[in-house]
Amino acid sequence: MNNSVQHTSIVKVGDTIDEEDDLLAVEEPLEIRLGYGPVSARCQQSISVTMRTPGHDFELALGFLFAEGIIRNYEEVVSIKYCQNTDTTDAKENIVRVELLPNIPVDMQKLQRNFYSTSSCGVCGKASIEALDTHCLPLPMDNFCIDAEVIHQAPAKLRKAQLVFTYTGGLHAAGLFDRQGKLLLWREDVGRHNALDKLLGASLAADNIPLSQSFLLLSGRVSFELVQKALMGGISLIAAVGAPSSLAVQLAQEYDITLLGFVRDQRFNIYSGSHRVALQEKLQVQF
């Protein structure tokens, strides 16, 4: 956690005015570089710069490449490491290079985006919204179903696991739960998209994708891109503490993803895929 938080001095104004020490969530840029092509003609391309919280950087890079459809599995990666040919020590841990196998095709133009993103940009940098789901496959038919009480209990479990958030209050989280509500894996980051990329990267490296037997909990709102990333990971149920956007709901409905919003205070809204949520009272309207 040391590189994820930073000390600062603040003036705390309340009933009294006091000078205190405080902790901040660190935000630094991470550049992802890709090495690809035949052995005799290797290419290097900088494909993304994102503002992130340091930690799990390799997972972030892997998750980003996977969610963008550049890699399909971990076996396509030869190596992943920090770049050493930089001028300063700090920069060495802010640039990650991922080397792909020589036979992995990479068509930069086909990806249709400029590969510059920020931690809160949503779908900015995309050539078009339609291009986002061109490499998404429909989810397989499943009998995945979660009891409503399991969903109600999930936010508190994820919040308890958020160590950096406990000290700073400034990070988003993405967590994977099983059917019984056990928290299997979680990641934190100043960016909602980065937290999910880290989660997908860790799952990819552990050969756990598709994540068809887990549900995803997000600590904030749900954007189109977060649903797209979850879809790439084979996740059929997404729950979020915040609200979904209209495009997030549209994509969830198109791919039969169960999407829940405002999961807090023993309540939630079902925006699509109600058949995966076991409720005590039978729903009158089915999505």
Q: Which residues are catalytic?
A: 121
> What radius of gyration, in Å, describes the C-alpha atoms of the chain?
20
Three-class SS state of 234: coil
Strand partners, 218: 174, 240
**From the centroid of its chain, how far is CA 234?**
13
Pairing assessment for the beta strands 258-264 and 237-240 based on DSSP bridges: parallel
Distances (CA, A) of 249 to 170, 196, 230, 235: 26, 18, 13, 15
Amino acid at position 276, single letter? R
**From the centroid of its chain, how far is CA 88?**
29
Q: Is the dihedral of CA 245, 249, 254, 260 positive or negative?
A: positive
The rounded distance, in Å, linking the Cα atoms of 214 and 147 is: 13
Which single residue is written with the structure tokens 């609200």?
243
3-state helix, strand, coil in the chain (%, to 5): 30, 30, 40
Query: The tokens of 167 are what?
Result: 């000290």
